[in-house]
Chain A
């Protein structure tokens, strides 16, 4: 019986352990008052996700990393919360005689949260550091337009220098930028968070300051209230010495990380969360009723498209542009948008989103108008769908399957060919993306674009220029390329916009992709806050929120 007794003892200990931990629980209960509790007076909470990387200006291309940067950093420009257009933040003036050489003058009086003044050097050092390939910043390529980028971010091997030759500090409040070529949209892009300055303290230990960032923005990290509590929350408080125009109207913000939007939405309805930046799919139909005047819809600089593999022998053959035109006209955008999104989404009439300079309601003409008869005519004239069947690929782990199916149904009905179009489901995003970037697609695929800065370059040059980083379709048109290059190098923006519109007319003939619709931010707020707005980039305007 000796063995049994010992086992009994073990089991007894296990039971005791259970009991002990159960007792411990009562202490835990006192410590926290639920998700919504414990917010200091005048603070509000907003839903977010854990940043994927350290909080460094050039190291975020997702909302989880972008929100804290947006709260804690300000660059030369910021974007207007309503129009999305650049407005000067730290820039006194940015002047250029030729769109290649720029002289930047800073407004004096700005300081980092540790008291250090923000100078021209803060910018130049930050940009050089962000561009350096050794620092593995995910958004390094934003600096590629600056002269000397190749030396700090070489295609192969280690950087040969730490400084880009195109950046020069003139005095404390002045620096110059030299680009490799004329870029008329460069000023418009300077509001992107990648171009934020960094204090000298940062370079001593970039990793440490990526965990506890010191910025120059309206909010500073609130270490007394938890700071960055990994996978839980990021708390920031108002920076009292902030001299920018967008001074915060609250005392602080806590970014709460939720595992799902469903859970965040439940918390919002229970008033445990104050601002939610996205409504879960399950509640899209009911959120306006649930939240009443606390439901928010705001247009986004964001477009959904269907892309074609123009490198494919079938789709790339001359004459097939007629088929693509026909397919575009076979899609009843207005009905699909109404049925699926139940909101303010608008059918697309342009590859640019509304309010982007150059956007036009009629630039694509009848290409984006639903016309089944003309659609059939064009598809037949183009020799029919290559291979007799159109597949539209999408990843099944995203919210796209529904609308892709609806688009296919619309095409099948318009062409009167049941089964001509079918969704092709990839199990997940990265697998779909790999086939797309490796140029292995044989059918069409869904593709989206959300603006980083409000200029056609971002929507067109980055996607449709021959060999551009995001040119997944393999589109290559000498006419478009020529116009696009001239547009980008135009001495001023008005001239640039005009050239872009001509370039788009070429796209309307070639149809490298079919524009579908523009997205709308669907969001909401609790009863404890007011004046919650979302900018056209889909981000909450953190500084404007007031706590009741």
Chain B
């Protein structure tokens, strides 16, 4: 088990180098001159442009630029953005917000999603099942910006149940509640449907029949045997989803004024700030990899037949 984890951690190194290089390459390929663009429609000061291009190594070939970046990174330096501020500060500011938002969305997704899935899986074909299926279908088919804007207008502005916009800089938990619900709702629908199918399938499994035949109380059969085994596909989905919740929340972040990672990356891409984009994406990649590892380890918890040597 320990050896397995070490092996997996070592595998992360080439993945990390590969992804950072790819992202660096992609930003490089965007073309355009980010420094001249700082002057808008007006003519740029050639001396300023020259100095900035030299400072940020923009005249060097891609591989040299990447080398500067990766060596700095190994020294713990995430580089600086064009305005001279350290990228590390930007990351330190954006990540906690996105992590909080993702945690709210994730918690809702897990609790409500698995709950609803279990409920409808156990009562397959009944009214509750139909209701959950129809409800999740509606959520899946509505684009998130419609859902977000409508929720913001009614639940936030009009009825005042939730706060409609978050404060940039330090979004509080309560301000992130509504965006978290909106963000989690799509995945919630998927989780509910996955759980439902899985539960309904396993209901007919031999071990469930055995457990029932042993005379175990229904509650124990459902939680210890049925649900535990049914969660494997759900956990796989959830593990990958956590990363998506953090990076892919740009639409939701925009509606609710949440200044998180999605927005940080978007703005950095428009400004062609390689160091910010790569820094943020690299951190996300690490989160993905770690989450994947945790998911794989969770398999062993959920299904005793799985062992890691």
A269 touches B157 (CB 8 A): yes
In the complex, which of the residues A133, A139, A267, A470 contacts B164, with contact meaning CB atoms closer than 8 Å? A267
A18 touches B167 (CB 8 A): no
> Contacts A4-B304, A35-B166, A136-B48 known; A260 to B254 CB distance under 8 Å?
yes
In the complex, which of the residues A140, A230, A428, A431 contacts B45, with contact meaning CB atoms closer than 8 Å? A140
> Contacts A259-B254, A428-B32 known; A52 to B38 CB distance under 8 Å?
yes
Question: Which residue of the partner chain B has the closest CB to A428?
Answer: B270
A447 touches B165 (CB 8 A): no
| Binary CB contact string for chain B from 75 to 112 against chain A (1 if under 8 A, 0 otherwise) | 00000001111000100010000001001000100000
Interface-lining segment among A23-31, A184-192, A364-372: A23-31
Contacts of A447 on B, CB cut-off 8 Å? 41
| Binary CB contact string for chain B from 285 to 309 against chain A (1 if under 8 A, 0 otherwise) | 0000000001001101100100110
Question: In whole angstroms, how far apart are the Cα atoms of A496 and B94 in the complex?
Answer: 52
In the complex, which of the residues A258, A260, A470 contacts B43, with contact meaning CB atoms closer than 8 Å? A470
B31 an interface residue at 8 Å Cβ cutoff? yes
Distance between A1 CB and nearest chain B CB, rounded to angstroms:
8
B301 touches A434 (CB 8 A): no
B142 an interface residue at 8 Å Cβ cutoff? no
In the complex, which of the residues B85, B163, B172 contacts A28, with contact meaning CB atoms closer than 8 Å? B172
Question: Which residue of the partner chain A has the closest CB to B42?
Answer: A470
Distance between A508 CB and nearest chain B CB, rounded to angstroms:
22
B31 touches A431 (CB 8 A): yes
A61 an interface residue at 8 Å Cβ cutoff? yes
Distance between B229 CB and nearest chain A CB, rounded to angstroms:
15
In the complex, which of the residues B32, B170, B257, B308 contacts A267, with contact meaning CB atoms closer than 8 Å? B257
Distance between A132 CB and nearest chain B CB, rounded to angstroms:
11
Contacts of A272 on B, CB cut-off 8 Å? 165
A98 an interface residue at 8 Å Cβ cutoff? no
Within 8 A of B (CB), among A451-500: 462, 468-472
In the complex, which of the residues B42, B51, B93, B253 contacts A259, with contact meaning CB atoms closer than 8 Å? B253
A176 an interface residue at 8 Å Cβ cutoff? no
| Binary CB contact string for chain B from 20 to 58 against chain A (1 if under 8 A, 0 otherwise) | 000000000011111011111111111110011000000
Question: In whole angstroms, how far apart are the Cα atoms of A472 and B256 in the complex?
Answer: 39
Contacts of A470 on B, CB cut-off 8 Å? 41-43
Contacts of A62 on B, CB cut-off 8 Å? 40
Contacts of A431 on B, CB cut-off 8 Å? 30-32
A263 touches B165 (CB 8 A): yes
Question: In whole angstroms, how far apart are the Cα atoms of A257 and B45 in the complex?
Answer: 28
A32 touches B172 (CB 8 A): yes
> Contacts A270-B157, A468-B43 known; A4 to B301 CB distance under 8 Å?
yes
Distance between A308 CB and nearest chain B CB, rounded to angstroms:
15
Per the CB 8 Å criterion, the residue count for chain A at the interface is 71
In the complex, which of the residues B43, B256, B304 contacts A462, with contact meaning CB atoms closer than 8 Å? B43
Per the CB 8 Å criterion, the residue count for chain B at the interface is 64
A31 touches B301 (CB 8 A): no
Distance between A292 CB and nearest chain B CB, rounded to angstroms:
17
Question: In whole angstroms, how far apart are the Cα atoms of A2 and B255 in the complex?
Answer: 47
A29 touches B172 (CB 8 A): yes
B31 touches A434 (CB 8 A): yes
Distance between A334 CB and nearest chain B CB, rounded to angstroms:
24
In the complex, which of the residues A155, A262, A270 contacts B47, with contact meaning CB atoms closer than 8 Å? A155
Question: In whole angstroms, how far apart are the Cα atoms of A309 and B38 in the complex?
Answer: 22
Distance between B166 CB and nearest chain A CB, rounded to angstroms:
7
> Contacts A263-B257, A272-B165, A428-B32 known; A3 to B38 CB distance under 8 Å?
no
Distance between A235 CB and nearest chain B CB, rounded to angstroms:
12
B270 touches A232 (CB 8 A): no
Question: Which residue of the partner chain B has the closest CB to A447?
Answer: B41
> Contacts A3-B308, A7-B297, A433-B36 known; A140 to B47 CB distance under 8 Å?
yes
Contacts of B38 on A, CB cut-off 8 Å? 52, 61, 138
B170 touches A3 (CB 8 A): no
B169 touches A229 (CB 8 A): yes
Question: In whole angstroms, how far apart are the Cα atoms of A146 and B43 in the complex?
Answer: 19
Question: In whole angstroms, how far apart are the Cα atoms of A6 and B51 in the complex?
Answer: 55
B301 touches A7 (CB 8 A): yes
> Contacts A61-B38, A431-B30 known; A232 to B45 CB distance under 8 Å?
no
A11 touches B298 (CB 8 A): yes
A429 touches B263 (CB 8 A): no
A238 an interface residue at 8 Å Cβ cutoff? no
A291 an interface residue at 8 Å Cβ cutoff? no
Within 8 A of A (CB), among B243-266: 253-259, 263
B263 touches A259 (CB 8 A): yes
Question: Which residue of the partner chain A has the closest CB to B175?
Answer: A34
A52 touches B83 (CB 8 A): yes
Contacts of A2 on B, CB cut-off 8 Å? 1
Within 8 A of B (CB), among A223-280: 229-233, 256-260, 262-264, 266-267, 269-270, 272
Contacts of B175 on A, CB cut-off 8 Å? 34
> Contacts A262-B254, A433-B32, A469-B43 known; A28 to B173 CB distance under 8 Å?
yes
Distance between A459 CB and nearest chain B CB, rounded to angstroms:
12
Contacts of B39 on A, CB cut-off 8 Å? 61, 138
B134 an interface residue at 8 Å Cβ cutoff? no
B174 an interface residue at 8 Å Cβ cutoff? yes
Contacts of B48 on A, CB cut-off 8 Å? 133, 136-138, 140-141
B272 an interface residue at 8 Å Cβ cutoff? yes
B152 an interface residue at 8 Å Cβ cutoff? yes
> Contacts A267-B257, A434-B36 known; A231 to B43 CB distance under 8 Å?
no
> Contacts A21-B103, A267-B165, A448-B41 known; A430 to B36 CB distance under 8 Å?
yes
B138 an interface residue at 8 Å Cβ cutoff? no
| Binary CB contact string for chain A from 142 to 170 against chain B (1 if under 8 A, 0 otherwise) | 00000000000111000000000000000
Contacts of B298 on A, CB cut-off 8 Å? 7, 11
B168 an interface residue at 8 Å Cβ cutoff? yes
A263 touches B173 (CB 8 A): no
> Contacts A138-B48, A232-B170, A266-B164 known; A469 to B152 CB distance under 8 Å?
no
In the complex, which of the residues B41, B168, B294 contacts A257, with contact meaning CB atoms closer than 8 Å? B168
Contacts of A541 on B, CB cut-off 8 Å? none
Within 8 A of B (CB), among A11-58: 11, 18, 21-22, 24-25, 28-29, 31-32, 34-35, 51-54
Contacts of B166 on A, CB cut-off 8 Å? 35
A interface residues with partner B (beta carbon < 8 Å): 2-4, 6-8, 10-11, 18, 21-22, 24-25, 28-29, 31-32, 34-35, 51-54, 61-62, 133, 136-141, 153-155, 229-233, 256-260, 262-264, 266-267, 269-270, 272, 397, 428-434, 437, 447-449, 462, 468-472
- Residue pairs across A and B with Cβ atoms less than 8 A apart, 13 shown, are A3-B300, A11-B298, A22-B173, A29-B172, A35-B167, A52-B38, A232-B167, A232-B169, A256-B168, A259-B168, A263-B165, A266-B164, A434-B32
Ranked nearest first, the 4 interchain pairs of A and B with the lowest CB-CB distance are A232-B169, A469-B43, A25-B173, A430-B32
B interface residues with partner A (beta carbon < 8 Å): 1, 30-34, 36-48, 51-52, 82-85, 89, 93, 100, 103, 107, 152, 156-157, 163-170, 172-175, 253-259, 263, 270-272, 294, 297-298, 300-301, 304, 307-308
6 further A-B pairs in the complex, CB-CB below 8 A; given A34-B165, A266-B157: A7-B298, A29-B172, A153-B47, A230-B85, A270-B157, A448-B41
